[in-house]
Structure 1
Amino acid sequence: MSTITFEKAKTIKTLNNIAESGLKVFKDNYTIDNDSENPDAIVVRSFNMHSLEFGDNLKAIARAGAGVNNIPVEKCTEQGIVVFNTPGANANAVKELVLTTLMASSRNLFAGVAWTKTLQDEGEKISKLVEAGKKQFVGKEIKGKTLGVIGLGAIGALVANDALDLGMDVIGFDPFISVDTAWNLSRTVQRAMSIEELYANADFITVHVPFTGDTGGMFNAETFSLMKPGVHILNFSRGELVNEKDMQAALESGKVGKYITDFPNENVLKMDNVIPIPHLGASTQESEENCAIMAARQVKEFLETGNIKNSVNFPNASLPYTGKRRVAAFHKNVPNMVGQITSAISNFNLNIADMVNRSRGEYAYTMIDIENDVNGEIIPSLEEKISQIEGMVTTRMI
């Protein structure tokens, strides 16, 4: 039997400091209560939730950011809790840092600045020392060079488009590019038919893919061997995408000219020609506010209408909300589930005005609008009936 949820005033709990602009999205029928043991929804950033127990009332968790490693997604799915993230909300912040470090590393800016600081207390000699020493930091311009972009999602597409405006040639690889991204991507971006083609032609490579079983260690001795000598690799996605032992060897041999990473660790900090960034990719005031607002709006939309966008465990589903009674059911993706739900509605002499059903792996999500003027006396009985269907996880009447 599934969990039954009756609508009431909604409680939101935060587990990190969430930008006030995001919390302002919740008004009227909402209460922010960070001491609540059983909220309707949780908004979180980096707080580790894996040891937490969730109350029966929890319907949604929103991560104000892209990664959800701090959230027990599988456990949430089993309990019928939708998990949201905010892809694209921090895309501009990451894009700006990618392009900044791309240019700065090509011009040896970081090493030059660090050397200049060693001239402190040299007094009048500084000017002559600067003129004599600057030769060791002669760099290269990025104009006319080729940038390879692996992963053309929200961030990758922005990087590709802006690199074109800087005069670079851009080659992209993404076998799973979405229709929305394709519309936003410049036609001038060359499409690599294989990742090997990108490796062979790029002077700079920036990666924007998630860490999975397939992408872990994708930068390794074998792939380095396919690249141009002295290639610069920029990693603002996940440190685990790189085999660090192979990276060290490639840096020592000069196969990789520089490795720019947002994920420093003990091994990386010991390598020469590494530019370690202290995880600043999305660390801007604007990015934090964008993520908080996006997370809050997605939670609010789900709680009030049942619509789902940017979920990592539920299927995305949307149905225009007209104020009619709506059944929102999360269930196993097995035959005749929708038929059993509609039969239950029919048994109460109710008409169906509209519906949507979407599946994702072993689970599916169904929303059905009821056309008749349903009074409060029928609702508990109808919801109870639907919740008793075998394979139902959660049932909610909106």
Structure 2
Amino acid sequence: MSTTVLEKVKTIKTLNDIAESGLNVFSGNYSLNTDNQNPDAIMVRSYNMHDLELTGNLKAIARAGAGVNNIPIDKCTEQGIVVFNTPGANANAVKELVLTSLMASSRNLFEGVTWTKTLEGESEQFSKLVEKGKKQFVGKEIKGKTLGVIGLGAIGAQVANDALNLGMDVIGFDPFITVNTAWNLSSDVQRASTIEQLFINSDYITVHVPLTGDTVGMFNQQTFSIMKDDVHILNFSRGELVDEKDMAIALEGGIVGKYITDFPTENVLKMKNAVPFPHLGASTKESEENCAKMAARQVKGFLETGNIQNSVNFPNATLPYTGKRRVTAFHKNIPNMVGQITSVISSFHLNIADMVNRSRGDYAYTMVDIENDVNDAIIPELEAKINQINGIVTNRMI
């Protein structure tokens, strides 16, 4: 079998600084740079791509992180560009910061440190001032308290399990929990049948859900009204999950005792008992490396084999790669698409060795392995014939 297609140099464009350990995944026939105007794939972190032209050669975008709000998903789907993210790669980093914040806010450490620094220059009275002033920072222990965890994905499940080990009672709510997550979640985590049940019974609440039409502003006057007084709310997911006007009122009235958020805004900075972090959730060396390596491996696997894992707009689809020529097609999820694709392949007197078809909403993805050796000369014609099928978005032979 000719390997001309496989040996073609693939270009990767980086829009942010990507950890070197991730870029090292692209060994061999890959060219990496920040200037390429027509790359095969893009590696990105937080760069805003909404106004960026998506060129015709672009096949994949990989976000080295979980959130993809900075990527024009609908536009990518319409053009047949697969978008990857890296769920779980930064889970430990976020979990550690959530637990750190949980304990630090309970013991008023943030306020205590800030106050202690005001004593600079009071050398003669320093010890007496410390002993006298510490009374205003008396906190509470988390052992025996109830933590409500909204969203039991990669991060939420780890937070729940570790909070149990710290002696907390844990209530979890996630109507969309996956089988894999359920297996990793301790049986001691109590399951809330409704989110209201979690709100009513929690001393602390941490949220780990994506921003959607259903979750935007989920923390608001109505939900605050059924919570325990002095509840601590930790938000390391998205700032828009919280109605900031209602949060300010709840903090002022003591309904919410502390609001710890990784998404500072001008409004948050003005709030009483709000603790804003400069988006540090995944900001560890280990997390950045894990995300970069995971994103790079997914892109490399897709470019070289067509296999898709952790896509936010394509269906996940894998077929063991044997080195045979492979036809991949992204198309509308309408009747007889697979039949039309295989008919075109058969018209070139090619036999099918294996295939897979997966759908996601209005779109589907098909991979077909060819049994015969394929002459490179017919590949452009084969791809053109498949492109003529009504409903095909994009296709390529690997």
Task: Give the structure-2-normalised TM-score.
Answer: 0.97
- Tell me which residue corresponds to 1:229: 229
Aligned partners of 1:336, 1:346: CA distance in 2, in Å?
15
Aligned partners of 1:200, 1:81: CA distance in 2, in Å?
44
Q: Which amino acid aligns with 2:240?
A: E
Contact 1:6 1:396 in 2 (8 A): no
1:180 deviates by 1.3
Q: Secondary structure at the match of 2:376?
A: coil
- Tell me which residue corresponds to 1:189: 189
Q: Secondary structure at the match of 2:124?
A: helix
- Tell me which residue corresponds to 2:179: 179
Once the two structures are superposed, the pairs formed by residues 333-344 of structure 1 within 5 Å of their partners are 333-344=333-344
- Tell me which residue corresponds to 2:324: 324
Contact 2:7 2:29 in 1 (8 A): no
Aligned partners of 2:360, 2:7: CA distance in 1, in Å?
26
Aligned partners of 2:49, 2:240: CA distance in 1, in Å?
21
1:370 deviates by 1.1
- Tell me which residue corresponds to 1:23: 23
Q: Which amino acid aligns with 1:152?
A: L
Aligned partners of 1:352, 1:143: CA distance in 2, in Å?
61
1:302 deviates by 0.3
- Tell me which residue corresponds to 1:309: 309
Contact 2:6 2:304 in 1 (8 A): no
Q: Which amino acid aligns with 1:254?
A: G
Contact 1:357 1:366 in 2 (8 A): yes
Aligned partners of 1:108, 1:268: CA distance in 2, in Å?
18
Give per-residue Cα distances to partners, 1:29-80, cap 9 Å, x unaligned: 1111322111100101111111111221110011111111111111111111
- Tell me which residue corresponds to 1:99: 99
Contact 1:143 1:166 in 2 (8 A): yes
Aligned partners of 1:267, 1:56: CA distance in 2, in Å?
42
Give per-residue Cα distances to partners, 1:316-335, cap 9 Å, x unaligned: 11111111111100011111
Aligned partners of 2:112, 2:355: CA distance in 1, in Å?
62
Q: Which moved more, 1:180-189 or 1:297-306?
A: 180-189
Once the two structures are superposed, the pairs formed by residues 196-211 of structure 1 within 5 Å of their partners are 196-211=196-211
1:379 deviates by 2.5
Q: Which amino acid aligns with 1:298?
A: Q
- Tell me which residue corresponds to 1:164: 164
Q: Which amino acid aligns with 1:55?
A: T
Percent sequence identity over aligned pairs: 80
Pair 1:216 & 2:216 matched: yes
1:253 deviates by 1.2
Give per-residue Cα distances to partners, 1:227-278, cap 9 Å, x unaligned: 1111000000111000111111111111111100111111111111111111
Q: Secondary structure at the match of 2:38?
A: coil
1:374 deviates by 2.1
1:137 deviates by 0.8
How many equivalent pairs are there? 394
Contact 2:77 2:314 in 1 (8 A): yes
Structure 1 gaps, min length 5: none
Q: Secondary structure at the match of 2:77?
A: helix
- Tell me which residue corresponds to 1:74: 74
1:7 deviates by 7.5
Q: Which moved more, 1:197-206 or 1:130-139?
A: 130-139
Aligned partners of 2:222, 2:53: CA distance in 1, in Å?
44
Give per-residue Cα distances to partners, 1:108-139, cap 9 Å, x unaligned: 11111111111111113111111111111111
Q: Secondary structure at the match of 1:364?
A: strand
Aligned partners of 2:290, 2:129: CA distance in 1, in Å?
45
1:362 deviates by 1.2
Q: Secondary structure at the match of 2:149?
A: strand
1:381 deviates by 2.5
Aligned partners of 1:232, 1:55: CA distance in 2, in Å?
46
1:349 deviates by 2.2
Contact 2:15 2:45 in 1 (8 A): yes
Higher RCO (CA < 8 A, seq sep 6+): 1
Contact 2:105 2:258 in 1 (8 A): yes
Pair 1:128 & 2:146 matched: no
Aligned partners of 1:104, 1:96: CA distance in 2, in Å?
12
Q: Which amino acid aligns with 2:227?
A: M
Contact 2:11 2:31 in 1 (8 A): yes
Structure 2 gaps, min length 5: none
Q: Which moved more, 1:214-223 or 1:175-184?
A: 175-184
Aligned partners of 2:259, 2:36: CA distance in 1, in Å?
45
Pair 1:274 & 2:274 matched: yes
Give per-residue Cα distances to partners, 1:353-393, cap 9 Å, x unaligned: 11111111111100111112222233233222211111101
Contact 1:153 1:177 in 2 (8 A): yes
Give per-residue Cα distances to partners, 1:59-111, cap 9 Å, x unaligned: 00111111111111111111111111111111111100000010000011111
